[in-house]
């Protein structure tokens, strides 16, 4: 079977590898479509994220959907032919964090496309059956791949607590930011304020329900949002830009005793906070770590028409054009949001 391996930063090679066989509790997935996340771009450019370094060729890809080709021994929740979305983080289910239900911070997690676990840019792969969710025929494979960022958005809204009646900001509206926007609206927030550097993304955010949109380059951003909130500031700000400027702006624009949820990954793997601002305001800072048991709820939001993930997909490429696909995901021409690869 074919697989696209990242041989070194900036170089993919499509190779033939052996088709895997599912073990007990596993399924064999025929991969259909895979999205390119910003974290994938980190691997492509630098061969590392923070202290985790790629030391041998790696198959990337963790936003994906496919068809059950084979079910291993003991699998009863799905059967061959089922169309599924996939949770890409495979917890150990045995460490202290898993025992407490905090599977998103499992100490021994295996994550698709992160060393040493190969990801989804291949024709077939095995994965835990408990981490796949059947999807209805109304959801395409491309949309199903986008359920992964939507599940992150659902979890972000969840950890922010009761959003009903609150004014929230989403700073950075790529796929995760757009997912946070839609999940927050579904959770009943009063008004949404979003920022981004890319005009096309701001326009998409507006189409998906953002009440107020601003360029992140606007030198009067803080004043404008304070004016729009009668001088109070925002109750909750979600940072999804992966830029320290966005984190600093979030702490400046959120109200005293407000909440800032940081979800982006800065390229230098460092988060900058102004200690004076954070301390004087008595802010709560939370870090968003992937998702936690929210994939099914993401599916339900799309089924109910409360979230549109199809609009995230702005570019498509075949597997043998993966280099080109990653360059588009990296450089974001024409306001690219998500590039999807058809395997």
Domain boundaries, the chain: 2-146+309-342, 150-287
CA dihedral 208, 214, 216, 217 (to 10 degrees): 140
Q: Give the separation between CA 105 and CA 135, rounded to whole angstroms.
A: 26
Whole-angstrom Cα distance, residue 127 to residue 328?
29
Rounded distance, CA 99 to CA 154, Å? Answer: 22
The pLDDT assigned to 65 comes to 98
pLDDT at 268: 84
Length of the chain: 343
Architecture of domain 150-287: 3-Layer(aba) Sandwich (3.40)
CA 22 to CA 130: how far, in whole Å? 13
Nearest to 113 by CA among 122, 101, 103: 122
- Sequence-distant (6+) residues with CB within 8 A of 258 are 233, 234, 235, 236, 237, 281, 283, 284
Return the biggest CA–CA distance within the chain. 62
Contact 133, 87 (CB under 8 A): yes
The contacts of residue 60 (CB under 8 Å, 6+ apart) are 4, 6, 40, 43, 44, 113, 119, 120, 121
Cα distance between residue 174 and residue 184, in whole Å: 15
> For residue 248, what are the contacts with CB-CB under 8 A and spacing of at least 6?
272, 273, 274, 277
Dump strand ranges (E) for 229-324.
234-239, 254-262, 284-287, 313-318
Beta-carbon contacts of residue 139 (< 8 Å; ≥ 6 apart): 85, 147, 299, 302, 303
Query: Closest Cα partner for 142 from 292, 2, 36?
Result: 36
pLDDT one digit per residue (tens) for the chain, 343 residues: 999 999 999 999 999 999 999 999 999 999 999 999 999 999 999 999 888 999 999 999 999 999 999 999 999 999 999 999 999 999 999 999 999 999 999 999 999 999 999 999 999 999 999 999 999 999 999 999 999 999 999 999 999 999 999 999 999 999 999 999 999 999 999 999 999 999 999 999 999 999 999 999 999 999 999 999 999 999 999 999 999 999 999 999 999 999 999 999 888 889 999 999 999 999 999 999 999 999 999 999 999 999 999 999 999 999 999 999 999 999 998 889 999 999 9
Which residues, at least 6 apart from 180, have a Cβ–Cβ distance to it below 8 Å?
A: 152, 153, 156, 157, 170, 238, 240, 263
Cβ-contact 336, 314 below 8 angstroms: yes
What integer pLDDT is reported at residue 334 of this predicted model?
Answer: 86
* Torsions phi, psi for 219 (to 5 deg): -70, -15
Amino acid 335: pLDDT:
87
Q: Where are the beta strands (DSSP E) in 142-243?
A: 167-171, 191-196, 212-215, 234-239
Q: What is the CATH number of domain 2-146+309-342?
A: 3.90.180.10
Whole-number pLDDT of residue 39: 92
Instruction: Please give the pLDDT value at position 8.
Output: 96
Phi, psi of 334 (to 5 degrees): 55, 30
| 3-class state of residue 198 by DSSP | coil
Looking at residue 17, what is its pLDDT? 97
DSSP secondary structure of 2-28: EEEEEEETTEEEEEE-PPP---TTEEE
């Amino acid at each position: 079977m074919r697989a696209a391996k990242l041989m070194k930063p900036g170089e993919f090679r499509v190779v033939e590898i052996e088709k895997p066989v599912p073990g007990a509790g596993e399924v064999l997935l025929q991969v259909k479509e895979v999205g390119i996340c910003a974290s994938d771009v980190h691997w492509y450019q630098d061969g590392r994220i923070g202290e985790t370094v790629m030391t041998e060729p790696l198959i990337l890809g963790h936003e994906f959907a496919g068809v059950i080709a084979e079910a291993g021994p003991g699998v009863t929740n799905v059967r061959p032919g089922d169309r599924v979305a996939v949770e890409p983080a495979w917890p150990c289910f045995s460490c202290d964090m898993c025992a407490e239900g905090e599977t998103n911070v499992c100490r021994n997690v295996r994550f698709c496309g992160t060393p040493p676990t190969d990801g989804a840019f291949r024709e077939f792969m095995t994965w835990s059956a408990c981490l796949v969710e059947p999807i209805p025929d109304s959801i395409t494979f491309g949309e199903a791949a986008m359920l992964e960022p939507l599940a992150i958005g659902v979890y972000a809204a969840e950890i922010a607590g009761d959003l009903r009646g609150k004014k929230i900001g989403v700073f950075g509206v790529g796929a995760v930011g757009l997912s946070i926007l839609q999940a927050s609206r579904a959770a009943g927030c009063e008004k949404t304020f979003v920022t981004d550097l890319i005009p096309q993304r701001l326009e998409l955010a507006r189409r998906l329900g953002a009440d107020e949109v601003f360029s992140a380059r606007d030198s009067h951003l803080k004043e404008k949002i304070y004016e729009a909130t009668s001088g109070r500031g925002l109750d909750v700000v979600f940072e999804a830009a992966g830029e320290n400027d966005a984190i600093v702006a979030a702490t400046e624009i959120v109200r005293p005793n407000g909440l800032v949820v940081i979800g982006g990954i800065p390229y230098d793997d460092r988060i900058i906070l102004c200690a004076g601002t954070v301390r004087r305001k008595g802010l709560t800072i939370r870090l968003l770590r992937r998702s936690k048991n929210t994939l099914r709820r993401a599916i339900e939001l799309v089924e109910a028409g409360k979230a549109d993930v199809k609009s995230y997909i702005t570019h498509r490429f075949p597997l043998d054009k993966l280099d080109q696909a990653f360059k588009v995901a990296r450089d974001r021409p024409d306001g690219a949001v998500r590039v999807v690869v058809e395997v």
